[in-house]
Chain A
Amino acid sequence: MNSTTTVSAAPMLHAGETIRRADRRLGVVMLAPALVYIALLVAAPFLLALFLSLTNSSAGSLEFSFVGLQNFQNVIASPVFRRALRNTFVFTFVSQLAVMVLGNVLARALMRPFFGKTLARFLILMPWAAPISLATLGWLWIFDSTFSVINWLLKVAGWLGPGQWYYWLGDTTLGMVAIITIHVWRMLPFSTVILLAGLASIPNEVREASAIDGAGTLARIFQIEIPMMRPILTVAVLFGVVFTFTDMSVVYLLTRGGPYNSTHVLASLAFQDGVLGGDVGRGAAVAIFLVPVLVVLAIVMLRSSRRAEVV
């Protein structure tokens, strides 16, 4: 019996190994497009940016020479850069906080049945589908320093007296408020949909049990629902942070970094210096400052997604 077993086991092992090898080969083939894509469109441009940041490369030329860390020294010494760095964190933190709070409110509202819910969902998703360039042009009129619709409404409502006017895009603080407002408007639908999915995934039995145990609304939200939604919340926050941290479209379209280069974020400043100003080396150096934060975020994101898989 023993010998029979041994004889019959050998071909089975061989077949298993063959399948495993074939699986491995298939795995490599399946992964190859993604790896090539990442190598060509992520790794190569990143390494190129790193390389260019050490050169005096300019937009009108493919010739350059090494300047060491001079671009970094110049950039760090620049008040415009330091302001942009601060703005990037403020922009990311404030807009994500607002998106998560408002997204939660909207998601909870959409969990309940009410008349016109389908239409409401469609309208909430609209900003996500609208091209940002078109949307920002609309917002440009809403926040225009001379013809602001908001100001006219406030004036009609008696909120603004004679001579009073909000210069939304001409004031450093109001400019950032306008930028953050548009970004929140733009990111809110995505966040709402993610949170809605998270809320829907919590079994009703859990809510019923908490109600029987006498948990109030706040206790249910903070002690049951939010902890249960943590994996999905983490993904939503991390995605939003990465997207916001690297975004330049709203700033570029709305204020172009003004007034006096005070509302730039790192991405828009890198574009202004590197592409519009033609100083590719300096632009690359500015952009490189995004990397450490993005690396940390990527690690956190990978860890949380692994945890989410376990859950």
Chain B
Amino acid sequence: MQTRRQFVVRGTKLVAIGAAAAAAGPTILVRDARADGQLRILQWSHFVPAYDKWFDPWAKEWGAKRGVNVTVDHVGFADVVPRATAEVAAQSGHDVHMFLGLASAFEEHVIDLKDAVATLEKKYGKEVDLAHRSTYNPFTRKQFALSDMWVPDPGNYHKEVWSKIGMENGPSTYDDLVKAAPEIKKVAPQMQIPIGVGLSQDIDSNMAVRNILWCHGGSIQDKDGNVVLNSPETLRALEYTKKLYSVGMTQAVLSWNAASNNQAFNAQETAYILNSISAYRTAQDNKLPVLANYFFTPALKGPTGIQLASEHVMSGYVVWKFSKSQDLAKEFLVALVDASRDSMLASKLYNFPSFYGAAAEPNTPLNKKQESGAAWIAAQCNKDPFGSTPPDKLALLAKSLPWSTNLGYPGFANPAEGEIFDTYVLTDMFAKASTGALSPKDAMAEASTRAKQIFDKWRQKKMVPGGGKDK
């Protein structure tokens, strides 16, 4: 016997599933793959296309060795989350789903991958901390995703232009950007945007504004999950960005998409951007004139001395609860980490292993594996096998781990941080303050209110900690 309330709730869920399945039906190719021996993977279309050319046959070959038919479907990075939403609603689709940023919002619908991570840790030692903080929820104690790789996010600078203003190694602090911008205008007047830090509703801008916020001592949450956006540090970050915008940027950065900063730098329309090496590889592949002047800097230091940059991409593979091939999926993910060296090379050094030990020399003792893996990674970066001139152009990437962190810093990644990321609360705040649409104080207050609403909602669902010390 069920109560009327239970009946209503159950009935509603059925209608919800039915309606969502009907709506998603045309866009999802649900193959008849329920039976064992099939593994369906949904993967992004990699920013370095060469990676997909390696991944797809590698996955199929892995399956063929086990008598398993592996299928890989690719979607653009912007479709990863909507596709996951549709598959959850339909309770059908792929077995393995790759997220680029935060998979935490889907925690309830994925299996715990603790055992897969434990297997990998036994083989290779601990994963890098930012990968752990992006795939594990300490509040629910669930390993909701498994990361095989992450991507550093260095500064990209135009060597000739920066040399002309006496900074041949590029900027090293955020203050350098403000000082350099007027000088760049003088020595390179043809450049439309001296400093190309995006303040738009896109993934790169989302990371850039976090970098600025963190390096000025601010953050959305503290390490315990309390919302602390409303702070003097945030205000300082906003005032800094307003100044930078007025001296070195144009309204173009308010409209950028994920490719815009790459295009602007490769067209020599800007002298500095924050990006992974994908734009550089594009310049190499197309032998663009900018190539000779394409150089990199580590994350910039803020006035607090903090030097941090968000990872550019953090893979987070999940296995859906509705998958009938869960064990197979876990095996696959372990094998993918096993292939970390191939993965890094196939992506032309774009991917960095989340388990450094997986890149170690064979037969290295467990306690030396991380060190050995780091040495192999450094060897690749110090002598780029893909033809950089000079060969050590990417050397700084090997040392990027100390200045790279996860979304959600100084806490763990969580669904609230994910929603703030996906609805552009921070880029909105920075853009409004920079353009004068709102004063920095009002922009901060508006964003803080929205952030608290989002955190409160997820706290009600018992997926995010904190709340007692919200500012």
Residues of A participating in the B interface, judged by any CB pair closer than 8 Å = 40-41, 44-45, 47-48, 51-52, 56, 58-63, 65, 74, 78-80, 144-147, 165, 167-172, 175, 255-262, 272-273, 275-279
Contacts and interface: CB of A to CB of B under 8 A. Distances in A.
Contacts of B30: none
B25 to A, nearest CB: 11
A45 B19 contact: yes
Given A147-B263, A257-B201, 12 more contacts: A40-B22, A59-B105, A60-B105, A62-B13, A62-B88, A168-B255, A169-B255, A170-B251, A258-B200, A259-B435, A261-B428, A278-B422
B250 A167 contact: yes
9 contacts: A56-B457, A65-B460, A74-B453, A145-B251, A146-B192, A170-B251, A258-B201, A260-B428, A261-B424
B19 A61 contact: no
A272 B419 CA distance: 10
B437 to A, nearest CB: 6
B105 A170 contact: no
Contacts of A256: 201-202, 257
A168 to B, nearest CB: 8
Given A45-B23, A146-B263, A258 B435 contact: no
Query: A-side binding surface: helix, strand, loop or mixed?
Result: loop
Nearest to A163: B189
B461 interface: yes
Given A41-B22, A170-B252, A261-B201, A59 B450 contact: no
Contact of B85 (A41, A60, A171): A60
Contacts of B88: 59-62
Nearest to B78: A276
Contact of B82 (A48, A172, A275): A275
A72 to B, nearest CB: 13
B108 A260 contact: no
B200 A278 contact: no
B260 A146 contact: yes
B415 A278 contact: yes
Contacts of B193: 146
Given A45-B23, A60-B109, A146-B267, A273 B461 contact: no
Interface string B185-228: 00000001100000111100000000000000000000000000
A60 B457 CA distance: 13
Contacts of A147: 263, 267
A260 B427 contact: yes
A78 B109 contact: no
A212 B423 CA distance: 64
